[in-house]
């Protein structure tokens, strides 16, 4: 890849995870970091498996 998009997506996914851990809903976390639900789930499908156990 090397274009930085996967790194950015993973950073955003981690931000959502952190906000969720602080008690925020997924919807509120997505809104706060400025991504749509469609984008979130697309990234989760494409990149989510990279850092999850």
Find the mean pLDDT for residues 40-52. 79
- Asked if 17 and 24 touch (Cβ cutoff 8 Å), the reply is no
Find the mean pLDDT for residues 24-48. 94
Q: How is residue 3 annotated by DSSP?
A: S
- The more confidently predicted of residues 51 and 18 is 18
Range of the domain at 44: 5-51
Give the chain's domain count: 1
pTM for this prediction: 0.78
């Amino acid at each position: 890849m090397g274009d930085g998009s996967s790194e950015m997506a993973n950073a955003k996914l981690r931000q959502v995870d952190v906000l969720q851990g602080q008690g925020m809903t997924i919807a509120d976390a997505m809104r706060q970091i400025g991504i749509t639900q469609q984008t979130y789930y697309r990234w989760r499908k494409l990149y989510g498996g990279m850092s999850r156990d």
